[in-house]
Amino acid sequence: MNRNWIEIDLEAISYNITRIKKKVGKGTKVLACIKADGYGHGAISVAKTIEKKADFFGVASIKEAIELRDAGIKRPILVLSTILPEEASAVVKNDLIATVCTIPLAKALSAEAKKRKKIAKIHIKVDTGMGRIGIPPIKAIEFIKKIRAFPNLFPEGLFSHFPVADIDLCFTQKQIKIFKDLIAKLKERGIEFPFCHFANSAAILNLPGSYFNLVRPGIILYGIYPSVKIKKTVKLKPALSLKSRVVLIKEIKKGDSVSYGRTYRAKKGTAIATLPIGYADGIDRRLSNKGTILLKGKRCPVIGTICMDQLMVDVTEVKNLKIGDEAVLIGKQGKEKVSVEEIAETINTVPHEIVSRLGKRLPRLYK
């Protein structure tokens, strides 16, 4: 019997990518982002589930990509982060696609591809406003000309990234214009890319003008919206539930405190339950005295500071609760629901952080 566990509904993920494909249309390919172990859902299981529906997979590192290759995944894999020149060998050897925004990396990939008698596919990143990685648009044309001169390199894609597609459409539209203008200027010079891509999850929901011919869904693949405020233009099914079990129930009296720092003091006699799950499992400490957990279909407040391996809940209103009863931290129980979006809103973060930080010691149970 598991004390803590995660349930993953793979059928929901398959459903979600089908809905996304319908939203973007037949002329638009889909790159499924499964970095950070599939946003905590298990990258290999997710990839095997949707490999026939996704055209590409996106990961954050070569290590993540090689794990997919070792698991038998054949689809093209784009390493979305920039890498070091000394990592070029692993990219070419494993038939990966590198993100390129420096000449030294392009040179290393070219040399390695020539050595192995291969053609290395690359996607060039342009920084239209994210301020992270990528070539400034003003330097992009000359940079791309230099890249095209390297032997054994195939510039397959051109892409950029949105920082505020869910909250600032004015800035986002400016980014789209910069990207479109660059594509047009390149075309005037006889330079075209098989794939141009920009749209993340928020843009897929909000901005059809950002699709180009490839989109990169991430968080929405897993049935989670980027925020509680965004328009839900695609119907999604949440794939992940997080559960625990009650290991202790006891009564405390008025004035008694709970957990480190004594941040909670009972205003009356209170029944509390202890769950064997904490911040080492990925439960954010900011949910201390703020979070909600479902027991017997009722919402129960987290009380006191969340510990490394345990947390406490006020169960005064829960009838017939027993040791071993199931608690739901994410998901549904009875008519109640605690969503990832709700948790993120409570602690002022993004849903991506909530699921991607769920710890490795939580077993994933797939159905």
Active site residues: 35, 260
Q: Is 19 annotated as a binding residue?
A: no
Q: Is 262 annotated as a binding residue?
A: no
- Where does residue 300 fall: left (phi above 0), alpha (psi -120 to 50 degrees), or beta otherwise? beta
Main-chain dihedrals φ then ψ at residue 210, nearest 5 degrees: -100, 5
Please tell me the distance from the alpha carbon of residue 63 to that of residue 15, in angstroms, as a whole number.
Answer: 28
E-strand spans in the chain?
4-8, 29-33, 56-59, 77-82, 97-100, 120-125, 153-159, 195-197, 214-215, 240-245, 248-252, 257-258, 264-265, 270-275, 292-295, 298-303, 311-314, 326-333, 336-338, 364-366
Are 86 and 107 in contact by the 8 Å Cβ rule? The answer is no
Residue 157's DSSP bridge partners are 123, 195
> DSSP string covering 267-298, please?
SS-EEEEEES--GGGT--GGGTTT-EEEETTE
The annotated binding site is made up of 132, 308
Residues forming the annotated binding site for substrate?
A: 132, 308
